[in-house]
Amino acid sequence: MVLGLIGGDIRQARPLVELYRRAGLSAGHPARVLRLGLTSHFFVADTSQAARDTFYPYYREYLRPKTPGGRGWLVSTDHFAATAGPTGALMTGSPQEIIDKILTERDILGIDRFIGQIDLGGLPPHLVNRSIELLATQVAPAIRQETTPSPGGPCNS
């Protein structure tokens, strides 16, 4: 299963994750095959403040209703800050902040995969490219290092 979380606090998804796992187990699936991914809006920059200052106007524009009564919502700076916080669904910040948030999602929800929705809101290509570069060179290697069992560890006995 892949959860799409674009707002709120990731801890609110825990009951849904538990239901998914219970249903899978009761249907006879072994726990090891009940994989869980999470996807959310994503923007990483060199610093947390740069990420938030840069991304907010694009994010606000992306989510605002485009027609009267249309889909979307208005994102205030307070809502943005809360959603970008340590357990918020929005993945925006410095590489280390993103690493910490993905590992927190792993601890709280047991995710096996993370999918970042990177090119959104009209972000200019140079910002999208830099975000992808930081994901590839700093975030992903650190996550792999933190989540790969060590040789001779309990998973490799």
pLDDT digits (tens, 9 = 90+) for 107-137: 999 999 999 999 998 999 999 999 999 999 9
Q: Tell me if 151 is assigned to some domain.
A: no
4 compared with 69, residue with greater pLDDT: 4
Give the residue from 148, 134, 151 showing the smallest Cα distance to 44: 134
Question: What is the CATH classification number for the domain harbouring 131?
Answer: 3.20.20.30
Q: Tell me if 152 is assigned to some domain.
A: no
In this predicted structure, the answer to whether residue 157 has a pLDDT above a threshold of 70 is no
* Residue 133: per-residue pLDDT: 98
Query: Chain-wide mean pLDDT for the chain?
Result: 92
Q: Tell me if 153 is assigned to some domain.
A: no
**Mean pLDDT, residues 139-145:** 97
| Dist. CA 108–CA 87, nearest whole Å | 9
**Mean pLDDT, residues 94-110:** 97
pLDDT digits (tens, 9 = 90+) for 30-46: 999 999 999 999 999 99
Residue 75, domain extent: 2-21+34-146
pTM: 0.89
Which residues, other chains included, contact 21 with Cβ-Cβ below 8 Å and sequence gap of 6+? 31, 34
The three state secondary structure string of the chain is CEEECCCCEHHHHHHHHHHHHHHHHHCCCCHHHCCCEEEEEEEECCCHHHHHHHHHHHHHHHHCCCCCCCCCCCCCHHHHHHHCCCCECCEEECHHHHHHHHHHHHHHHCCCEEEEECCCCCCCHHHHHHHHHHHHHHHHHHHHHHHCCCCCCHHHC
Q: Tell me if 26 is assigned to some domain.
A: no
Q: How many domains does the structure of the chain reveal?
A: 1
Q: Tell me if 62 is assigned to some domain.
A: yes
* Residue 70: per-residue pLDDT: 81
* Residue 154: per-residue pLDDT: 52
